[in-house]
Amino acid sequence: MTEFIKDGTGTGQRAKVDGKNRLHSFSTIETGGTEAATEGDLYNINSGTINLSTSNKSALLYIKNTDTVSWVVNRVFYNAGVSTGGAGEFLAEVAANPTLGTLISAGVDLPAFNLNFGSSKQLSADLKVGAEGSTVTDGVVRVGTIIPTSGTRVLISFDSIILESGSSLAVTITPQTGNTSMNIQVGLNLYRVTD
């Protein structure tokens, strides 16, 4: 008995198999972020420009998932201006599940921007931005990045940091020794996992 893979729309088209038993098909592949964006579920969270006036660690961005579904953080980025007084590398860290510190208790509320400009969906989240000297005093650093120089943009693609409902993260920056002024922006893109 001969069996065929046929078009399910009723056209009667059959799939082609070549002499090496390869099935021929045409497909469109998109990332999870692109799929989420078309549904209005991809967001950008950005600290805006913050001036760091010392070489001490500052907690600059906090997000907590208060949604009913998990999120995938697929990009973290750092835009750093040139340091005054500091030279060489600085440190960026992402901490998992912080609960204490002035960033969380006294940070400024921050919006999440939907990257589907035609969507009115909003992200269910606690979002805070900090300033020079803001702290997180617990949580576990899961991602540390030495950035070799200020006056640069660093984009880290993940597609693997998962924030389940109730979980959180914070981003801290430790400028170069001797820094007296460095403008920085920290941010991330995330999408909701809806299927």
Q: How confident is the model at residue 2 (pLDDT cuts 50, 70, 90)?
A: low
Q: How large is the average pLDDT for residues 6-19?
A: 82
**Does residue 5 carry a pLDDT above 80?**
no
Q: Using DSSP, state whether 195 is helix, strand or coil.
A: coil
Q: Which two tokens stand for residue 146?
A: 């030495």
- Condensed to tens digits (0 to 9), the pLDDT of residues 72-129 reads 999 999 999 999 999 889 999 999 999 999 999 999 999 999 999 999 999 999 999 9
> Angle CA(109)–CA(138)–CA(51) in degrees, nearest 5?
45
- Condensed to tens digits (0 to 9), the pLDDT of residues 150-188 reads 788 888 877 679 999 999 999 999 999 999 999 999 999
Q: Which two tokens stand for residue 135?
A: 């702290």
Q: Which two tokens stand for residue 138?
A: 């617990």
* pLDDT given at position 159: 65
Max intra-chain CA distance, the chain: 80
Q: How far apart are CA 1 and CA 148, in angstroms?
A: 66
* pLDDT given at position 31: 79
- Condensed to tens digits (0 to 9), the pLDDT of residues 28-72 reads 777 788 888 889 999 999 999 999 999 999 999 999 999 999 999
* pLDDT given at position 1: 57
Residues 6+ apart with CB under 8 A from 33: 42, 72, 74, 159, 189, 191
- Taking CB atoms within 8 Å and a gap of at least 24, the contacts of 84-87 are 84/179, 84/180, 84/181, 84/182, 85/178, 85/179, 85/180, 85/181, 86/55, 86/150, 86/175, 86/176, 86/177, 86/178, 86/179, 86/180, 86/182, 87/176, 87/178
pTM for the predicted model, two decimal places: 0.86
